[in-house]
Structure 1
Amino acid sequence: SEADVGPKQAESLLTTIADELGIDKTMVSEAYEDPAEWLLKEGKLPDNVDPSNSKLEDPEERSRMAKVFERGLTKPSGYVLPVQRWNS
């Protein structure tokens, strides 16, 4: 289910892909939310609105904001594997 998929599963998937491609697994890196962006969004909320229970009109934005602040800005939100195609 979707609830079982998160950053650790992304790390595992990218590590496996790196291994299959012969890329050093240490190239798999943590990805974080941009704290400045989220602090600005939080600062724009009215004083009587909590990010975890905001009354934003856009349900998707409301859900994303709640998830980001619930997880915290110092925990990885995902993982990346930077690769570049060789030009010959």
Structure 2
Amino acid sequence: MLTNINNFLRDIGTGKASILVLANGLGVLAYSLGKQDLIKEMENLHEQGVTFIACRNALNTYNISENKLPAFVTVVPAGITEIVQKQAQGYAYIKP
């Protein structure tokens, strides 16, 4: 997924699209158990304008405390609701 985002940004340029990465289910583990190089790459993308989001329901399911997440991660109550709302706003849902 991070490779896709980097390729996309290289192709269109930074600041030309609103990119959100929403982790739900097992995906939230990448924010809490991710290797330092993975976290650093996400942080770099965040500095380029990419928003990283975690589902609170998934965090609770896997007993992950929100304060253990990297500072650049935003938490939403329910990932599925966030996806539906963003699609209604015109966002494309891409699942690599």
Establish whether TM, by shorter chain, passes 0.5.
no
TM-score band w.r.t. shorter chain: under 0.3
Question: Relative contact order (C-alpha < 8 Å, sep 6+): which is higher?
Answer: 1
Query: Which TM-score applies when normalising by structure 1?
Result: 0.27
Please tell me whether Structure 1 or Structure 2 has the larger radius of gyration of its CA atoms. 1
TM-score, length-normalised on structure 2?
Answer: 0.26
